A and B are shown apart, each in its own frame.
Chain A
Amino acid sequence: MAQAVKSERLMNLVICLLVARGYVPKSRIRQIVGGYGDQSEEAFERMFERDKEELREVGIPIETGSFDPFGDEEPGYRIHRQEFELPEIRLEPDEAAVVGLAARMWQHTYLSDASTTAVTKLQAVGVEADTRSLGAVEPRVGGEEPAFWPLWEAVRDRRAVRFRHRKSTGAEPMVRHVQPWSVLSWHGRWYVVGYDVDRQAPRMFRLSRIVDTVRSAGPAGGYEVPAQDVVREAAASLVPPERNESAWARIRVRAGSGHALRRRATHVEPAGPGWDDVTVTYSSTEMLAEELVTHAGDVVALEPAELRAAVVERLEAITKGAS
């Protein structure tokens, strides 16, 4: 039952510091909070330091100070009620409904718990947010990448990090030192934007390409984050640019096939029974070739010749790899 004893001690410490009129000196805390009195001086010091730290970690604001203007007196501790309590908040039924829905969004275990706790606190002050009924719109956001949580914490605490990151799929991982500004989900994938200390410029890294662990590389509050519009601008300039589709290709497509090609075609004309010739614009020969081979025998690249060659090369890589 050591566990329950510790919880009781922490609860009583919180209540003691909350109801006190001023700062409570450490010696007084030792006397009146159960569980401290029967410890040796040294054991009490250690225990009390740890208790304070753990309570601060769960969000309880324990202040240190003294009312003595000369600072002669032993410093004391208190919990300022205004810092401790959730202020007045009232939500209309439609506001409470969207909050209940939002609380279900996160699939990341800890954020899901954080959302639930937040709603519970709101419910305690009379907000009737229903987190269980089914809505017409259900949002879910993952964040399952192992790097997600350490980077969320790093952004929150303004703490520099280092990690190994694979730039593209084939590349060797490289160590990066980053002051993270923001984590963002773009086209369903998570990125971190921040100041790359080695390159001395803003950079963006895809979370799923971070290899093994994200490690702390600096103190909390170790840097300033630029204004939000600067961060947004940096992120916008770092996402891959829209492609300039200036080249055109002619492709023979079997009837009833190649819907994605037909949807973006600039021109379609019949090419004998069961086939159409489709014209599309494109930017990268390799990317178009990659798309065309997925259709196997239902699609044939007609021109340009380099597109035909790229398709043939890809198909031969498969037949040769198999033999």
Chain B
Amino acid sequence: MSSIKIELRQEDVNKIKEICASFNNDPQELINVLHKCQEHFGYLPAEIQEVVSQELVIPVAKIYGVITFYSFFTMTPKGKHPISICMGTACYVRGAEKVLDEFKKELGLQVGQTTKDGKFSLSSLRCVGACGLAPVVMVGDKTYGRVAPDDVRNILKEYE
């Protein structure tokens, strides 16, 4: 995966160091450190991984391996309004695929991509545990339940 080259500011580096220190620079806490970093920066580009590598004394390759293993971590920035469509079984049998197709069509995106203006990104996820509301769509922290393909345009309108 090619990632965007970015320049970390000194304060960003300090923030990462601070996060690592809050976990006593313990290599076992790598996943918790990465959670905190992603919470702060929104994603985990190579440059952040390098700083974490120095602090926790773990090879960057190992960190890269961990990040790519877990679906929660991402190396590309998400949109301002990340859209996630639940593709758990309950949502699937109630038509989540059609809803996902509609989002793809409306936004001109594939799963995992972000719009050029950085506004929306599209992802599918496995079960948010709100099966009573199936099919479920999440935009940021807001949850939409019982979404039909026809609702997609209206949902997107809310964020214009």
Q: Do A and B bind each other?
A: no
- Taking Cβ atoms with an 8 Å cutoff, the residues of A that contact B are none
- Taking Cβ atoms with an 8 Å cutoff, the residues of B that contact A are none
